[in-house]
Amino acid sequence: MKAPAAAVVQELVLANHILHAQGVVDGFGHVSRRHPDNASHFLLSRSRAPALVEAADIGVYDLEGRPLAQVNGAPYLERFIHSEIYRARPDVMAIVHSHSASVIPFGVTGQRLRPIFHMAGFLGSGSAHFEIRDAVGDSDLLVSTPALGRALATSLGACSCALMRGHGSTVVGHSLQQAVFRAVYTEVNARMQATAMALGPVTYLSPNEAERAATANDGQIGRTWALWAHALKQTPGQGCSG
């Protein structure tokens, strides 16, 4: 196993801190990235609140969800979300799983998230829906086995975002920064979409508008990343230096 470069690890640490500061994750939720030198491996923290993650917490896992080297503590129970989506989606380079609050009402009502404004163009024609009960009956709702990870990956299909009924959501990207961008704007879109739906019929972006907006946004992702990283430095106790 080739050890990931320090900068690759550090960017994942920063992603953990940004997602917390932006209200996407709390004590729970996690973010991973595919190993840049080996598509069959991915990087993920040990089981720890994202805001507290440091470089020493980041481990390398295979697509069975097994840690390849000693992980400095227990792994996340739901690491199979990551392993099975990386297996099913060769285009995916990073994944964010969260329980962000505004998304939950959509999952439990079967309403799709749809792009209400241009920043959420990545939602395309809408979010995917994962019903864990279809895979396993009554459960603790956690994606804690490879089989459940596969069921989630199947529900995700080619989408960028899957709502998980009664649990949260999983968002994928073609880069770490894109996955973080999408996770933040999934939460923002959910908040705004719920407000708009209460007011009346909503005009969403058309699939063509969504695709064009997403392409435009992809050229601007570094701008929000720089802002969110900068904001961490301004907030005592949320520094990203570990």
Which amino acids are annotated catalytic?
Answer: 78
Distance CA 239, CA 159 (A): 33
Which amino acid type is present at position 242?
Answer: G
CA atoms of 242 and 237, how far apart (whole Å): 10
Give the whole-angstrom CA distance, residue 34 versus residue 144: 20
Alpha helices in the chain (DSSP H): 6-21, 79-88, 104-109, 132-136, 146-156, 176-199, 207-218, 221-234
For residue 235, give Cα distances in angstroms to 2, 138, 181, 197.
35, 42, 20, 35
